[in-house]
Structure 1
Amino acid sequence: MKNEVREFRLDEISILCIIRDLLKNIWVILLAAAAGWFAVTGVMSFLYVPEFTAQATMAVSARGGSNAYSSLSLTNQMAGVFSEVFDSNVLKEKIAEELGEDSINETIQATVIEETNLITLQVTSENPRRAYQVIQSAIRNYDEVSDYLFSNAMLRIVQEPSVPYAPSNAMNSSRYQKLAILAGAVGSGGLIVLLSILRFTVKTREGAKRNLDGRILELIPYERKNKTVRGALRKLNKSILISSKLVSMPFGEAVRKTATRIDHHMRRRDQKVLMVTSVAENEGKSSVAANLALALAEKGRRVMLIDVDLKKPALYKVFEKKEENRKYLSDYLDKKAEIKDVLIYEKKEKIYTVFQEKSIHNAARYLDSMEMKALIDAGRKKMDYIILDTPPMSVSSDAELMLKMADNAVLIVRQDWTDVRAANDASDTIRQAGVDFTGFILNAFLKEQLWSSLREHSYYGYGRTDGSEEV
């Protein structure tokens, strides 16, 4: 395991992994946006104080029957004075006296309508009836106050005030709600992106080379299980085997190159038993083990594929070989069947298989038995290769038990799945057991760039593929 401080590099960031995390956590983003909306709505509702405005329109005219022009001129001249009078303490004291109170807190405002001799008088209060009472009192007492300031102008009511029925300061929270939704979505999305970037998993080939303690055998691209709309809707989840005509060329080529490298490595060292494992579940180790067996069989090798993941067997699902009368590994280990009964030659795939269907508790007792050793020894005599599909190393110790019987091991590392440190610890465990560790197989990797995919996987298959420099 690497102990040095992790160095952040841009080539370890996968845009597609980030997008996948965003889509997978879209519900978090939606919840954060909704939370922002509710928070703003709640706060504004708590802080909102409705105000009601009573309004009257008055015309300014000169005393003595002056013409409209003189009234308009007089209004413009006295505009400031009108406003000050209506907002004066003297008038407010008279209003308070009339209403039988010590003082009033309402806002009184007079505004001149431009190019006219009209004045709009407004009284704002938290109570609609209170606003009406104050504006009526202001109109009644205005003359008495204004006579002290000027006597050549008078006000005439054009529009009588009325009791306001709706607040004049309607709560306009729409803009703030939209901002809160945006902030919630962007904030949660940004946090998801940050966590995705900082998660110490293998996201790119460059990151794998830099952080994994071992050779990168090959990068196997992501392959969809359902190739048709019908299959996707019904979630048929067909197995991904290179023997299928529906499998894409990049996927098939990557698997075959991986098998070629393993074949070359093991033949030089006279090795026969290959253990295929992973750190965590759902990294695709069973599919990789099955496809490696098929690829080696295509090269003319005699291959035995054994499912030794007794707690969660999967190979019978991969090959869709669920047969009522078939004998399984547990039958042999329980001494209810012979090796010849459980070892089945699959004519279509041209490999020998030993499958397991039902989960077995206390699997370690079976795997560390003389029967299991006898099965492996028999395979060594008759087969070119024995491929063991073992349980994930972080789930149980069964994989470590099988290391005693293996010559070689490979670790399946799925893109953005397992912590790099856990993968390195697993490779150290394999080495410490005295087993030859060939390297890591990067599985289910999404292509970052179309041009890179076209370059690496040309029509004729001669393009360089991921990891080829590490043969």
Structure 2
Amino acid sequence: MEHQGLNNGVNRTEENEISLGEIISALFKWWWLVILCTVLAALGAYFYTIYTYVPVYTASASMVVNSKQLKIVGQEAVLTNDVNLSAKLVNTYTAVLTSNRVMELVAGELDLPAAAISPYVSVAPVRDTEVLRIFVSNPDPLLAAKICNSIMHVAPTAISSTVEVGSINVLDNAKVPEFPNAPATFRNVGVGAVLGLMLGLGIVFMLMFFDRTIKSGDDVKNKLGLTLLGSIPYLSPKARKDQGQGQGAPLVNSDQVGFGFVESYKAAGTNLRFASAVTNAKKLLVTSILTGEGKSTVAVNLAITIAHTGKSVLLVDCDLRKSNMHGVLELDLEDNQGLAAVLNGACAAEECIVFATEQGIHVMPNGYIVPNPSELLGSEKMAALLAALEKQYDYIILDTPPAYLLTDAVALSVYANGVILVVKQGCAKVDVINSAQAAFENAGVRIIGCILNGIKYNQLGAFYQSRNYERFLGDYYKNYALTNKPAQEAAAASDKN
């Protein structure tokens, strides 16, 4: 049993800090949600305005404030006009005209309750003049005009009895309005759109704040404290379908995956070789936290990438619960053959190892599901098998089940030289990943590093998609790929022959 030193990565940062780049990324990711909230709120405001609209008629009249005063100069009476006094009288008369006293006088004339009149009345001065305008809005156009004219009738008496300075003169009386006021559709739609925009942005920020998943290489270093071995771009379902590799797993030896995809695995393989060379790690366990993170695809592609450097690589399907490695590589496998059969003593290891010609790797698949996978993987038979196999190969890649809630990976990890953790962008939460890390650390197993899988570059604040990765790499790499394509095709043809 081999116990390696624990991972000595960066300290984990627990704070959920949000950078400007993450905000921009979230807006690019959730732009449709912001627009949807804005449009729905604007439509809601529009239909609310249309269906709740009640025609209201506004009658208006105007009066002039007279601020002239009589002064005695010597023995003569002189009329003076004070501009400042006019401004003060306009404000005073406005308050008087909307007072309860005036409303009661109008109510007495029209035989209406005062409380039913005041909500419809408003007074506004005309700017830079001494003119006051009285507005009365009411669903009944005739009543609106009557109230307005009644105010004009009682106003001089009410003002003269309460304000001793100045006077008012009626400029024009109200007429019965012919057309109702237009509904405030534009204003309400604008307000609704602004509120919807604020709601959409609020939802986006809430999603960002509560999003505890890994989204970038910085998250791997800061939140997990792990070394980033590589970043694998996302391939769309269409690209997977076009690739046509068995169950749809994109492989680096295929011509359909794109040059950038292959280069990302070359970079990950190089980093892995340097990281494993420190402790001469040969037996590498590949696992993920949850299902669907692409650990098996990563394991296969890492094995192929390392094999292309001239190393002998054995890929072992240690997922005894859901074996699919033979399907991914399209290998012919007889029943009751594979790792489980070797551990149960049904056949020898050499009989269960096949060579995948197109990929250039040796593979020990698994032929059937067993009821006690964690016990078999953690058994002395497994330790003895790995000890024998490591003498024959430069690297052994162990593809295991997800580490969260399953003990298979942890049980097997004590026989490996290190663990490679596959994390899919935006999938597992940090707390869940940390719990799996703690399980490996408690077992005394070294986590060599992390491979961030399925990266969508538009979620990192970039303005390109992974399908445009070659454009990002530049014309130099494009020309290199095109120049070497005939040589690659010739080599592939010779291998088949």
Q: Could you say which TM-score interval applies, normalised by the shorter chain?
A: 0.5 to 0.7
What amino acid maps onto 1:176 in structure 2? V
Which of 113, 120, 138 lines up with 1:125 in the alignment? 138
C-alpha root-mean-square deviation of aligned residues, in Å?
5.7
Deviations 1:94-125 (A, max 9, x none): 76455444657266789999xxxxx9996433
* Matching residue of 1:284: 294
Q: Tell me whether 285-294 or 119-128 shows the greater mean CA deviation.
A: 119-128
How far 1:404 sits from its partner (Å)? 3.1
1:220 aligns with 2:231: yes
Structure 1 residues 373 and 133, CA gap change in structure 2 (3 angstroms): same
* Matching residue of 1:344: 354
**Partners of 2:479 and 2:438 in 1: how far apart?**
39
Structure 1 residues 292 and 228, CA gap change in structure 2 (3 angstroms): closer
Q: Tell me whether 290-299 or 182-191 shows the greater mean CA deviation.
A: 182-191
**Partners of 1:102 and 1:298 in 2: how far apart?**
95
What amino acid maps onto 2:422 in structure 1? I
Identity, % of aligned positions? 24
* Matching residue of 1:176: 191
**Partners of 2:133 and 2:277 in 1: how far apart?**
100
* Matching residue of 2:117: 105
Alignment of 1:368-447 (within 5 A): 368-369=378-379, 372-373=382-383, 375-415=385-425, 417-418=427-428, 426=436, 429-430=439-440, 432-445=442-455
SS in 1 for 2:284: strand
Which of 246, 251, 260 lines up with 1:241 in the alignment? 251
Q: Tell me whether 298-307 or 435-444 shows the greater mean CA deviation.
A: 435-444
**Partners of 1:418 and 1:154 in 2: how far apart?**
77
Whether contact under 8 Å (2:291, 2:402) holds in the other structure is: yes
Whether contact under 8 Å (1:221, 1:446) holds in the other structure is: no
Alignment of 1:59-458 (within 5 A): 96-97=107-108, 99-101=110-112, 103=114, 105=117, 123-125=136-138, 127-128=140-141, 130-131=143-144, 134=147, 161=176, 166=180, 170=184, 172-193=187-208, 199=212, 201=214, 203-205=216-218, 208-209=220-221, 212-213=224-225, 215-216=227-228, 218-225=229-236, 231=242, 238-260=248-270, 262-263=272-273, 272-321=282-331, 327-330=337-340, 339-340=349-350, 342-356=352-366, 362-369=372-379, 372-373=382-383, 375-415=385-425, 417-418=427-428, 426=436, 429-430=439-440, 432-445=442-455, 453-454=473-474
How far 1:269 sits from its partner (Å)? 5.7
How far 1:237 sits from its partner (Å)? 7.9
Instruction: Note the residue ranges of structure 2 that are not aligned, 5 or more in a row.
Output: 1-6, 63-89, 127-131, 161-168, 465-470, 482-497
Structure 1 residues 135 and 325, CA gap change in structure 2 (3 angstroms): same
Structure 1 residues 4 and 331, CA gap change in structure 2 (3 angstroms): closer
Whether contact under 8 Å (2:239, 2:257) holds in the other structure is: no
Structure 1 residues 308 and 108, CA gap change in structure 2 (3 angstroms): closer
Q: Tell me whether 405-414 or 104-113 shows the greater mean CA deviation.
A: 104-113
**Partners of 2:216 and 2:237 in 1: how far apart?**
24
* Matching residue of 1:77: none
Whether contact under 8 Å (1:342, 1:354) holds in the other structure is: yes
How far 1:460 sits from its partner (Å)? 5.9
Structure 1 residues 427 and 4, CA gap change in structure 2 (3 angstroms): closer
**Partners of 1:458 and 1:263 in 2: how far apart?**
26
* Matching residue of 2:58: 53
SS in 2 for 1:353: strand
Deviations 1:253-276 (A, max 9, x none): 443354455556667866542211
Whether contact under 8 Å (2:10, 2:221) holds in the other structure is: no
SS in 1 for 2:191: helix
How far 1:398 sits from its partner (Å)? 0.8
SS in 2 for 1:439: strand
**Partners of 2:444 and 2:113 in 1: how far apart?**
97
Q: TM-score, normalised by structure 2?
A: 0.61
**Partners of 1:53 and 1:235 in 2: how far apart?**
75
Structure 1 residues 177 and 13, CA gap change in structure 2 (3 angstroms): closer
Whether contact under 8 Å (2:26, 2:204) holds in the other structure is: no
SS in 2 for 1:173: helix
**Partners of 1:400 and 1:325 in 2: how far apart?**
27
How far 1:355 sits from its partner (Å)? 2.6
Structure 1 residues 213 and 369, CA gap change in structure 2 (3 angstroms): same
What amino acid maps onto 1:219 in structure 2? G
SS in 1 for 2:231: strand
**Partners of 1:193 and 1:351 in 2: how far apart?**
42
What amino acid maps onto 1:105 in structure 2? I
**Partners of 2:235 and 2:266 in 1: how far apart?**
18
**Partners of 1:249 and 1:30 in 2: how far apart?**
36
Deviations 1:387-432 (A, max 9, x none): 1111222231111110233233322344455556765665564455
**Partners of 1:229 and 1:278 in 2: how far apart?**
21
